[in-house]
Amino acid sequence: NSRNGAYFRKVDTQFGPIEVQVPRDRNGQFHQHTLPDYKQHSDVLESTIIKLYSKGVTTREIADLIEKMYGSHYSPAQVSNISKQMIPKVEAYHKRKLSDKFFCVYLDATYLPLRRETFEREAVYIAIGIKP
C-alpha cells in the first residue's frame, strides 16, 4: 500500500472555517483519527446550536448568529437537523422514573397570552418536588 497524494477538506470550528490536508493511500485503508470521516463541523459548534435551540432561539436566528460569530454558514435546515439530536434525550427525560416520596411539592401556574382564533390566556403549569 503506497501513498496517493492528499485532498483538502474544509472543517467549521469555533475559530472559524479551516482547511485541512488529509493524506490518501491507494487502497483507501488510511483513516484519520483526529477528524472523523465525513464530519464537517466541530462538536463545539453543534453544542452551541443545541444550547441556543433549547433556549428558544429560532433556527434562522441561530444560523445568523453562528455565521456572525464564527464565520461558518449554516442553513436553518442544518440547524434543525443538528437540534434533532436532542429528541432522544428529551424523550428519555419524559420517561424517567419519579421518586415516590417528596418532602415538599410546589405547584404553580403562569398565564401566558396566546393568539389562536382569538386572544386567549392559557395556563402553563409548573410542578417542583423536593426530595428529603
Is the pLDDT at 6 greater than 70? The verdict is yes
Residues 106-119 have a mean pLDDT of 86
Within a domain: 31: yes
Using one digit for the tens of pLDDT, what is the confidence trace for 45-64? 788 888 888 888 888 999 89
Answer for the pair 61, 71: CB distance below 8 angstroms, yes or no.
Answer: no
* Number of domains making up the chain: 1
Q: Is residue 117 part of a domain?
A: no
What pLDDT, on a 0 to 100 scale, did the predictor assign at position 40?
Answer: 67
Q: Per the domain annotation, does 130 fall within a domain?
A: no
Coil, strand or helix at 62: helix
DSSP state, residue 100: S
Instruction: Look at residue 101 and tell me if it is in a domain.
Output: no
CB 124 within 8 A of CB 102: no
pLDDT band of residue 90 (cuts 50, 70, 90) is confident
pLDDT of residue 104: 92
Segments forming the whole domain that contains residue 50: 3-94
